[in-house]
Amino acid sequence: MDTPATLDEIREAALARLPVPARDFLEGGAGAETTLRRNRRAFQRWAFVPRVMNGLPAPTTATRFLGVDLALPVLTAPFGADGLFHPDGQIAVARANAAAGTASIVPEAGTHPLEKVATAVPGSAAFGQIHPLGTDDGFLDMVRRYEDAGYRGLCVTCDVPIGGWRERNLRNRYLPDYALFGGNYATIEQALGQLGQLLAPEAPVWSWHKLATLLARSALPWIAKGIMTVDDAHAAVGAGASALLVSNHGGRQLDDQRASLDALPEIRAAVGPDVPIALDSGVRRGTDVVKAIALGADVVVIGRLAAYGLAAGGEDGVVRVLELLRTEISTTLTLLGCGGLTDLNRDALVRVDAD
């Protein structure tokens, strides 16, 4: 891959390499993809308010999230079926994060075993993602594996009791290779036994009480992913969550809900300044990262952007995504008149009509 100059070039290269079913699996959302579009429009409704001639030094993009030092306020998302985009999948993503000074959230439904990802780059595979599905023993076994492999926290995906209604996949008659999702299991049957509810739910949705009871057996801090309301934010913190991930799953789960960015300010106001908050869904460039932090996030989580990089150029492609994000974030902070991420707040933005 020639070194791309922009994130759009990386996306174009990725989509050119993928067959139509894989491309639609990556690009698509749920239903009519209304939420997918809203996620992008939400960022466009905020414009920057710069402060010039401020005499500040070059800004820093460094931050810290749940005890993990980051060179930029970006984590990579726990997107599964990662081997669909490159044979090295999340191993390449973790190596890219190590090179860029940031960290991965490693998926339960990934192509490679979580231990193999952690061993490839100790420390970069910082968080392990897990679904509150299946049997209690199966859930706790996955928690213990993350603990034993040295992960520093968990990311619990709370908004996927069943897979979303993905019409692009249905139109393509797309049948995923379950081996791409089953790297953490000895057999496909074992994977389906624990995660089969994603395909056809046969068990009740878990409760906050059940999740809290099981996670109380682990010392790892955990992030509640899929929080879109103040009530759920309070419930997650009450259940023991150390951090929140404001997310509508990139528009891939429940269609026709509001954008994650629109939910962020009220959730930040509700839980106060001391609860770490991440945001995903709709992030496509460095200015989006800056807007999210100004509205209350501590970090953002990138899924499609990381997958574009992976598909375009493997580890090097993801490294380039992170390099471009960091440069654009730094440039934006400088032009805004901010010395660093901690200087960002709501005063840096004004609401406008979407362009």
Binding-site positions for FMN: 78-80, 129, 157, 225, 247, 280-284, 303-304
- For the annotated binding site for glyoxylate, the residues are 166, 249, 252
CA trace torsion 179, 77, 168, 288 (10° rounding): -160
Residues 6+ positions from 67 with CB-CB distance below 8 Å = 152, 153, 221
Are 82 and 89 in contact by the 8 Å Cβ rule? The answer is yes
Q: Is 128 exposed, middle or buried (0-12, 13-18, 19+ CB in 10 A)?
A: buried
Are 172 and 233 in contact by the 8 Å Cβ rule? The answer is no
Distance of CA 201 to the CA centre of its chain: 24
- For the annotated binding site, the residues are 78-80, 129, 157, 166, 225, 247, 249, 252, 280-284, 303-304
Q: What is the DSSP string of 78-126?
A: --S-GGGT-TTHHHHHHHHHHHHT-EEEE-TT-SS-HHHHHHHSTTTEE
Of 86, 112, 131, 249, catalytic:
249
Catalytic residue list contains 86:
no
* Nearest C-alpha neighbor of 228 from the set 197, 256, 199: 256
* Nearest C-alpha neighbor of 137 from the set 225, 224, 205, 214: 214
Helix, strand, or coil here: 349? strand
Residues classed as catalytic: 249
